[in-house]
Structure 1
Amino acid sequence: MAPRVPLPVTLLLGAALALQVGYQAVRAPQHRVAATLQDAPPLAVLRLASLGEPVALAKAMTLHAQGQDAADTPLNDIDYVALRSWFERIVDLDPRGQAPLLAASQVYAASSDPARTRIMLDFVYRRFGEDPDRRWPWLAHAALVARHRLHDAALARQYAQAIRTRVTNGVLPAWARQMELFILDDMGEDDSARALIGAMLASGQVSDPRELAWLERRLHAISARQRQAHP
């Protein structure tokens, strides 16, 4: 027997569909307008409207929010502040859902407008802290965006450091734990990189023999580089 969909969810889906159909019908190709999205309703209102089915409502809201940007609508035409409010409410309603974090870090962070990109990265970073063991992949991607799209090494390091220090050791793969070291290398922060490796070795955070050997090699390479620079 198929699960019953709550009436508010059905209405919201219908409203979203009607909005999209109407928008496409009246939009002339030669007069593109910016995609409009109002701020999301208050969480208390949404919880009441869900009739005990917050996950179903969250999925409907995801469709509505992401349906605002048609395939030919530039990311820079989207109201990122309003979009973020929808993502916030969706995560509140469905904390285990990953769609808003994935969309924020991998789709909407691709905007050519640095301010818009930062809105999405900040959203991912703040919500990462509530469930680091499940949400770290999205923050890892945010760190790459910060480093290579925004060219903000300090922000990338902040994200990488949060991943290294807040995610359970058994959950985090070696490449993610080492991300901060690579960013420090890019920044030319040899002293900080040496201190970080020393802390990782001393803390027992790393137990895999291959990773330990790699860290030791990195430490020796940094020390050799510093001796050459300052004989």
Structure 2
Amino acid sequence: MAARVPLPVTLLLGAALALQVGYQAVRAPPHRVASKLEDAPPLAVLRLASLGEPVALAKAMTLHAQGQDAADTPLNSIDYVALRSWFERIVDLDPRGQAPLLAASQVYAASSDPARTRIMLDFVYCRFGEDPDRRWPWLAHAALVARHRLHDAALARQYARAIRTRVTNGVLPAWARQMELFILDDMGEDDSAKALIGAMLASGQVSDPRELAWLERRLHDISARQRQAHP
């Protein structure tokens, strides 16, 4: 059974939505095709309507926004621009909340429409920079979506590079730090891969002996492959 929204939270959201003509109730009734999602109210309006409880309002807004994709509502029928505006406001109200970033990268990025997928990935990338140490998992998933669903290796590399360079060393696991290298290898960019490995080894970014040994083997393998290709 779905969790019920506490009455005070419902009233807070109702106050915010009342300031915008045409907004719906916090949750759409089950088994009903959701009506068109309108753009989220301005942040200033929401802060005023929250009555000092922005996190509670953000949670209620999350239920409302995600209530638009009922089981019988295809992802491609949802207005992703409006949906992104809701996710933006939710993150503004509750910066520590992860639900919008999770939903954007793992649920709504699954749209078969590349334009819609890119809207969600760009949202994750833009908000990642505000809190890289906590938001990197969603950008890592976005990188995988960019590479394997959109077949956009350049975009995937952009996301992977951001993870490698902007997340605190002790926070980031080895596989995430090496994502950019795997993407370069997949692209056949041997020179760039060698440069990246050299930079990682020289910078002291990697301290684990096993990872250092793996990077050195990768560097050796790439060099050997290049010598075979150009004797």
Answer whether TM exceeds 0.5 for this pair: yes
Cα pair distance change 1:23/1:34, threshold 3 Å = same
- Is contact 1:146–1:152 with CA below 8 Å preserved after alignment? yes
- Is contact 1:20–1:67 with CA below 8 Å preserved after alignment? no
Cα deviation, 1:144-190, whole Å, max 9, x if unaligned, reads 00000000000000000000000000000000000000000110000
Cα pair distance change 1:85/1:106, threshold 3 Å = same
The offset of 1:214, in angstroms, is: 0.2
Structure 1 stretch displaced more, 19-28 or 37-46: 19-28
Equivalent in the alignment of 2:203: 203
Cα deviation, 1:59-79, whole Å, max 9, x if unaligned, reads 000000000110121100000
The offset of 1:223, in angstroms, is: 0.1
The offset of 1:11, in angstroms, is: 2.3
Q: Distance in 2 between matches of 1:161 and 1:214?
A: 19
Q: TM-score, normalised by structure 2?
A: 0.89
Cα deviation, 1:111-144, whole Å, max 9, x if unaligned, reads 0000000000000000000000000000000000
- Is contact 1:84–1:123 with CA below 8 Å preserved after alignment? yes
The offset of 1:32, in angstroms, is: 9.3
- How many residues align? The count is 231
Q: Distance in 2 between matches of 1:29 and 1:54?
A: 25
Q: Distance in 2 between matches of 1:139 and 1:66?
A: 20
Cα pair distance change 1:47/1:186, threshold 3 Å = same
Equivalent in the alignment of 1:133: 133
The offset of 1:10, in angstroms, is: 2.0
Cα pair distance change 1:40/1:226, threshold 3 Å = same
- Is contact 2:31–2:70 with CA below 8 Å preserved after alignment? no
Cα pair distance change 1:38/1:17, threshold 3 Å = closer
- Is contact 1:157–1:180 with CA below 8 Å preserved after alignment? yes
Cα pair distance change 1:3/1:147, threshold 3 Å = closer
The offset of 1:6, in angstroms, is: 8.9
Alignment of 1:62 onto 2:65? no
Q: Which runs of 4+ in 1 moved over 4 A?
A: 1-8, 12-35
Q: Distance in 2 between matches of 1:104 and 1:115?
A: 13
Cα pair distance change 1:26/1:160, threshold 3 Å = closer
- Is contact 1:34–1:78 with CA below 8 Å preserved after alignment? no
- Is contact 1:140–1:159 with CA below 8 Å preserved after alignment? yes
Cα deviation, 1:183-206, whole Å, max 9, x if unaligned, reads 001100000000000000000000
Cα pair distance change 1:25/1:55, threshold 3 Å = closer
The offset of 1:9, in angstroms, is: 2.7
Structure 1 stretch displaced more, 217-226 or 16-25: 16-25
The offset of 1:27, in angstroms, is: 16
Report sequence identity in percent: 96
- Once superposed, what is the RMSD of the aligned Cα atoms? 4.8
Q: Distance in 2 between matches of 1:3 and 1:224?
A: 58
Q: Distance in 1 between matches of 2:10 and 2:30?
A: 34
Unaligned runs of 5+ in 1: none
- Is contact 1:197–1:219 with CA below 8 Å preserved after alignment? yes
- Is contact 1:35–1:69 with CA below 8 Å preserved after alignment? no
